Amino acid sequence: MNLKNDLLTGQDLIVFGEDFARHPHSLEHLLRPLFGINKIIWVETIGLRSPRFSVYDLKRIYGKLKGWFGPKKPSEVRLVPQDFWIVAPLMIPFNQWKLIRSFNTWSVKRAVNKVLREQGFKNPITVTSVPNACDYVGEFAEKLKIYVCVDEFSLWPGLDYKMVQTMEAKLLSKADVVFATSESLKNNKSNGKKETILLTHGVDFEHFNIGSKAFSENLNICYFGLLDERSDQSIIQTIATQSPAVKIHIIGNVVCDVEKLRAFKNIIFHGPVGYRALPDAIKEMDVFILPYVRSELTENLNPLKLKEYLSTGRPTIATPLPEVVKFSEHLILAHDGKEFVSAIKNLRKFDSAKSAHTIEMLKSNETWQAKARIFSRHTSLHLGVN
């Protein structure tokens, strides 16, 4: 049998992704229901962007070097599921240089093949959500190669657009199955063999369902997640200026210039908070905001945070990106700072019945378990099993 409770089981998988369990990302969430019922090698690859001399990048470099060469403290040892191996090959983050890219390919293949031999993997399935895996996918006698496209990487600020486009084209040509997390990506990413499958993000509902609360006298407004060039800082500034009594809490890594925001006394930067600690960090928040710059990059975006915000049971105000508009009955749409401010002023009219309806929708259709079943069903169909 290859399906158990509608989940793929009994398979050998190689996953090329970001660092495992550092801060769960979409591919890790999607595949987590398959842990323990499949044999999995998780390969921690480097990012697409060459590092800059920023605090965030320097910390990431230090963490990588420590992981490769430093001793592990008991607190740093990650708990991994049964039949699960983490491989962290030595890699250099300058893929635009041919020699370095060749070295990275050699290093990854060497590290992965070692575990394949030791653990008796045969004809595995490879799964990846990162375009630079194009150099490794297809090198391990796979019976199926899967690409889960989660973003329009070629438009990300700070990336070598031509290099990323070339990488993704190579990966798509190798992939047997392509999943995409938004309608726009589904329409634009194809392997030329079979139709790309829409598989939107899920949510760890129980983790984020912190329950309703009475509004604070002075509202606590929250944005949690990565704050980068896609975030519309002008909206946050407008809220801070026109609603001086509210407090705006920004929780997470900041990888862009936010000096203008730091000038406001009612904007509080909390820094990054671990995934497990997030529910406690946000439990006193009254409303969550998703302010995005409208661009070709964000038009392709399906915000992972959206369903996490909705799961809280608290109001969410968001820029009307195409994938956000699909949930218009469950949140408040606002085009600019003025509309965000207006929505905040009218929050006390928030319909609690709407929240209950949203909660039921998320629990029924949008959990990561539900998304893993969709992934499993399509994967099994391509394997020709049931």
Residue 225 vs residues 95, 102, 304: alpha-carbon distances, Å: 27, 34, 9
Residue 192's nearest CA partner among 209, 178, 204 is: 178
Residue 227's nearest CA partner among 175, 268, 198, 170 is: 268
Average pLDDT over the chain, rounded to an integer: 89
Mean of pLDDT values over 208-217: 90
Q: How confident is the model at residue 125 (pLDDT cuts 50, 70, 90)?
A: very high
pLDDT digits (tens, 9 = 90+) for 318-368: 999 999 999 999 999 999 999 999 999 998 776 666 778 899 999 989 999
pLDDT digits (tens, 9 = 90+) for 263-312: 999 999 999 999 999 999 999 999 999 999 999 989 999 999 999 999 99
pLDDT digits (tens, 9 = 90+) for 74-108: 444 456 889 999 999 998 887 778 898 899 999 99
Mean of pLDDT values over 218-239: 96
pLDDT of 153 strictly over 70 = yes
pLDDT of 175 strictly over 70 = yes
Q: How confident is the model at residue 154 (pLDDT cuts 50, 70, 90)?
A: confident
User: Domains (ranges, CATH) in the chain?
Assistant: 3-202+367-383 (3.40.50.2000), 205-365 (3.40.50.2000)
Cα dihedral sign, 70-60-282-211? negative
Burial 298-311 (b: 16+ CB within 10 A, else e): bebbbbbbbbbbbb
Burial 1-11 (b: 16+ CB within 10 A, else e): ebbeeebbeeb
Q: Are 238 and 341 in contact (CB under 8 A)?
A: yes
Mean of pLDDT values over 191-206: 95
pLDDT of 53 strictly over 60 = no
**Burial (CB count <10 Å: 0-12, 13-18, 19+), residue 28:** buried
What pTM does this model have? 0.88
Q: Residue 353 corresponds to which tokens in the numbers above?
A: 């019945």
Mean of pLDDT values over 199-214: 94
Mean of pLDDT values over 24-37: 94
Rounded to 5°, angle at Cα 366 from 81 and 322: 125
Query: Could you tell me which residues come within 8 angstroms of residue 15 by beta carbon, excluding any fewer than 6 positions away?
Result: 27, 31, 40, 41, 42, 43, 126, 127, 128
pLDDT of 16 strictly over 50 = yes
Beta strands in 219-358 (DSSP E): 220-224, 247-251, 267-271, 287-290, 316-318, 332-333
What distance lies between CA 170 and its chain's CA centroid? 22
